[in-house]
Structure 1
Amino acid sequence: MKLPTYLPSLTKLSVYFCPKLESPLSRLPLLKELDVGECNEAVLSSGNDLTSLTELKISRISGLIKLHEGFVQFLQGLRVLEVSECEELEYLWEDGFGSENSLSLEIRDCDQLVSLGCNLQSLEIDRCDKLERLPNGWQSLTCLEVLRILGCPKLASFPDVGFPPMLRILRLDDCEGLKSLPDGMMLKMRNDSTDSNNSCVLEFLHIEQCPSFICFPKGQLPTTLKSLSIRACENLKSLPEEMMGMCALEHIFIDGCHSLIGLPKGGLPATLKRLTITDCRRLESLPEGIMHQHSTNAAALQALAISSLKSLPEGMMHCNSIATTSTMDMCALEYLNLHMCPSLIGFPRGRLPITLKELRISNCEKLESLPEGIMHYDSTYAAALQGLAISHCSSLTSFPRGKFPSTLELLDIRDCEHLESISEEMFHSTNNSRQYLNIER
């Protein structure tokens, strides 16, 4: 029924399965960690002398609709707050609460939660079935850097005021009703404004299993964005229109977006290093010039992994000069993976980039020929390929003429039932450093 009234040296307290405990917590001047579960809300009705508390975990508190003002006012030093399975919780507290330190907040399985507001550094909302909106004043969360929203099916949109000014990481997962990101995130780019209210420093954006998400706002994503990851958004039709101006973007990962038809016509950023697009059934081709841009804007693409394509862009075979003063021929591609491209017949004319170190081709049933660039057959072309793996390509009958490059360390060929022969002469390269050879079926 009651706790001791004065524990002056206590630094950590856990209270569980005490539904009849009615006295509030008080006079714990050195308490830093408090974990309360399976109790009633009277335990959290007052927080007298809890000013040292830095970490608070609350779970399954019956009757808790919101944290009492008499409790919250003593939490000025709070750094971590975790709330889970409080089925009656509708609000955390009244807007205006401010902690002396930035706060990390995690909310899970609070079905009645409809709104929140506080000063945060990190916020995670998980499986809150009735959460429909974030607070209109969320731009005032000037310390918020990380936001994760998981399993909130009724969350349909964000306030149209852009993101909090310091938000760097945004992850949205399993939000069935989410249709769009806020138009306000584009304000700085559209208006060329220097107003700090319109700024955005977002670096990592991950969207997964959001079937109602169709498109991005018109314009350009934040120029600070470094990584864009989109998975299982089956109705997404297009990427942002103006991606060329995204001067920090290095990684794009897209998987299971079955309605995606093509990439932006304007091309991809010159800073892009890794592009992965898998299981996008309607995407049939990549834009021309994906490997190299204008001579003043040479692309940095190092890794390309693609599935479902019918054809490869011509430009990927044109950056094979050994020595050139023109950056028009520059290419940085080191890794190429083609997987499950059932309609792909062959490569464009020309040779693969001399920078290519690893080539993987799998489940391309109609592929009839490999590019000449995988073989070393004259002194004017020095291939640098280190790894070659080919599997489940039933229409492939032979290799190009020449010898495997002396740099080749891995050769793995599987389930190519019509591949007729590999001659001994193909292995007669000088300084051969091959470490792995596998040929089966």
Structure 2
Amino acid sequence: MDALRANLTEKKDLSEIELAWGRKDADDSMKERRVLESLQPSVNLVKLAIRSYGGTSFPNWLGDSSFSNIKVMGLSGFSNCWSLPPVGQLPALKELYISNMKCVMSIGAEFYGVNGTSLIQPFRCLEKLQFIEMPEWEEWLPSPGRGQCPDFPRLEELVLQKCPKLRGNLPDHLPCLKKLQVYHCWVLHERATRSRWIPWSLIVNTESLRQSLQDLEITGCPGLSSLLETESLSSFSVLEIQIFSRTDCLQPHLSSRLQNLTLRNCGSLLSFPRNGLPTTLNSLYILECRRLEFLSHEMMAKLTSLRDLCLIDSCDSLRSFPLGVFPKLSSLDIWGSKNLESLSIGEGADHENVTHLDSLSINDCPNLVSFPHGGLPTPNLARFTVYGCENLKLLPDRIHTLTALRDLEMFGLPNVESFAEGGLPPNLQSFQISGCEKLRPSMEYWGSQRLVSLRTFDISKSEDVLETVLKEQLLPTTLHTLRISGMKSLKSLEGKGLQHLTSLQQLQIYECDSLKFLPKEGLPASLSCLGIYTCPSLMKRCQEKTGEEWSKIAHIPCIHIGDQVIIN
């Protein structure tokens, strides 16, 4: 009755009705079908989403061609439906997202909205199609009676994700397909026992893809290896390959148009093609490919367009990384490189090449001990992160000369004792320290009063550093945000280091189990927001009006103590 009274059919201005059933409502499939039938919207609808529908069938309006304005549709979590609604006859439908259909085993004529004799082209405007988490889906049948006409004449993007039983008979003619993403469809394209199931690699019209497919991403789908034969597919600009066991998943001649290449979890991959990678490459991401031998010096020098390079848990043979070999590299991330010992400019490399570097991140490289002698000749470096390098003792020489550096992050560096002579970069805006127990800050080396641009200081798991900061007033008065966390034995924030921060707006304190006392002098009058989280002793002492520390924070306009919010 509620659905009928809503009278959605007459609401002509309604352009978007997301219909969602809660778990408690999903107890009567017949009632749910009647509710959905009664919620028939106006034919002027443009977007429709239906979630967690528990009916076993669909009302006639869902998919009816009279809904000539629907462009986007999302269907998810249908728990009792064995088939999909006949949405193929929606004339304006451009995007269709289908997910978590637990009972659907086959997709066929009902999906296209044809009865075997209809000559109407299904999905005439569809450009994007996604199927995600279809655990029982086994076959995808073509539209009956279509002959040589494609079922999806304008489809540009096809995504298949987590369809573990899907084997074959995918659309065999996709003339406009530009992007294909297939994730964790483990048996896709394997030969099956039923005669009508054959690998897509044998029936797909690769000729139709030759000029169209630009973006191919394959994860956990070994049967798709034939699509990597670049003799038939030479138009790739984006290629992502994941969880491949073949040692030759990179063909000798990659697309000459390739711009973005991602290799993930290709455990058997040993080397790049002998003739290197396409010079058109803009980004290269290598993840979990430990046996892969990194590019040779000659190959690196030819990558004149490469801007972004990311190595994560890969290329274990790499011991020294030559920064200056790539002519235009602007972003470099190296994570989990077990044997990396140093970063260098590179033999015969040009210092000019390093001037493009904007972001440098070195994470979890336990054997890293040195940076280039004389410092980093990277005048445009804006972000520098060093994390989890337990044997590193010194940051790069002359780091204070990096005048473009805005963000500096030092995490998990237990043996770094000080900055090199000259102090911190003068134009820092954000500075984060965590797990640097031996670091000894001082006015001489930090030069903190020169840091007039510093707005955020974040310190964690470095109690000696914090105590020195609070005692010697090392932070600049221009600081806007201060975050303190993970100080397990810290009992007090005593010192004049906070009181002199006359521009401080936000103070956030997390996970300081023993912390009880705020400074006797109180907190800066400029504070507009104070947050205290997972600090049981301090949270108790800062309770409104009754806590021993309340008088020190009562002037702050907004206070968060755990889940409690106090507005003064």
Residue 346 (structure 1) aligned to one of 460, 464, 468: 468
1:112 positional shift? 0.6
Residue 148 (structure 1) aligned to one of 285, 289, 295: 285
Q: Provide, for residues 199-237 of structure 1, a one-character-per-residue CA deviation record: whole Å limited to 9, x for no partner.
A: 21x333223333233332345683222222333333333
Rounded to whole Å, the distance in 1 between the matches of 2:335 and 2:321 is: 17
User: What does residue 308 of structure 2 align with?
Assistant: 169
Q: How does 1:109-148 map to 2 (within 5 A)?
A: 109-114=243-248, 115-116=250-251, 117-118=254-255, 119-142=257-280, 144-148=281-285
| Residue 250 in structure 1 maps to residue 377 in structure 2 | no
1:389 positional shift? 4.4
Q: How does 1:26-105 map to 2 (within 5 A)?
A: 30=153, 32=155, 38-39=167-168, 52-56=176-180, 60-62=188-190, 71=206, 75-87=210-222, 89=225, 92-93=228-229, 98-99=234-235, 103-105=237-239
User: What does residue 544 of structure 2 align with?
Assistant: none
User: Contact conserved, 1:32 with 1:55, CA < 8 A, in 2?
Assistant: no
Rounded to whole Å, the distance in 2 between the matches of 1:168 and 1:340 is: 34
TM-score by length of 1: 0.68
Q: Secondary structure at the match of 2:324?
A: helix
AA in 1 matched with 2:324: M
User: What does residue 416 of structure 2 align with?
Assistant: 283
Residue 199 (structure 1) aligned to one of 302, 327, 338: 327
1:27 positional shift? 7.8
Rounded to whole Å, the distance in 2 between the matches of 1:96 and 1:212 is: 39
Alignment RMSD, CA only?
4.8
Rounded to whole Å, the distance in 2 between the matches of 1:302 and 1:67 is: 55
Are residues 337 and 57 of structure 1, via their aligned partners in 2, closer, same or farther at CA, if it must alter by over 3 Å?
closer
User: Contact conserved, 1:387 with 1:409, CA < 8 A, in 2?
Assistant: yes
User: What does residue 191 of structure 1 align with?
Assistant: none
User: Contact conserved, 2:261 with 2:283, CA < 8 A, in 1?
Assistant: yes
Q: Provide, for residues 62-95 of structure 1, a one-character-per-residue CA deviation record: whole Å limited to 9, x for no partner.
A: 499x999x94696023222233445474993357
Q: Secondary structure at the match of 1:374?
A: coil
More off after superposition, 154-163 vs 104-113: 154-163
| Residue 332 in structure 1 maps to residue 453 in structure 2 | yes
Rounded to whole Å, the distance in 1 between the matches of 2:202 and 2:421 is: 57
User: What does residue 384 of structure 1 align with?
Assistant: 503
Q: Secondary structure at the match of 1:110?
A: coil
Q: Secondary structure at the match of 2:241?
A: strand
The structure number with the bigger radius of gyration is 2
1:354 positional shift? 1.2
Rounded to whole Å, the distance in 1 between the matches of 2:528 and 2:290 is: 49
User: Contact conserved, 2:318 with 2:340, CA < 8 A, in 1?
Assistant: yes
Are residues 318 and 120 of structure 1, via their aligned partners in 2, closer, same or farther at CA, if it must alter by over 3 Å?
closer
| Residue 222 in structure 1 maps to residue 358 in structure 2 | no
User: What does residue 375 of structure 1 align with?
Assistant: 499
Q: Which has the bigger relative contact order, CA under 8 A and spacing at least 6?
A: 1
Rounded to whole Å, the distance in 1 between the matches of 2:344 and 2:446 is: 34
Q: Secondary structure at the match of 1:222?
A: helix
Are residues 199 and 317 of structure 1, via their aligned partners in 2, closer, same or farther at CA, if it must alter by over 3 Å?
closer
Are residues 54 and 334 of structure 1, via their aligned partners in 2, closer, same or farther at CA, if it must alter by over 3 Å?
closer
User: What does residue 11 of structure 2 align with?
Assistant: none
The number of equivalent residue pairs is: 389
Rounded to whole Å, the distance in 2 between the matches of 1:67 and 1:105 is: 21
Residue 430 (structure 2) aligned to one of 290, 302, 311: 302
User: What does residue 193 of structure 1 align with?
Assistant: none
User: Contact conserved, 1:155 with 1:175, CA < 8 A, in 2?
Assistant: yes
Rounded to whole Å, the distance in 2 between the matches of 1:392 and 1:18 is: 56
Are residues 176 and 330 of structure 1, via their aligned partners in 2, closer, same or farther at CA, if it must alter by over 3 Å?
closer
Are residues 223 and 90 of structure 1, via their aligned partners in 2, closer, same or farther at CA, if it must alter by over 3 Å?
farther
**Structure that is richer in helix per residue:** 2
Q: Secondary structure at the match of 2:414?
A: coil
User: Contact conserved, 2:267 with 2:288, CA < 8 A, in 1?
Assistant: yes
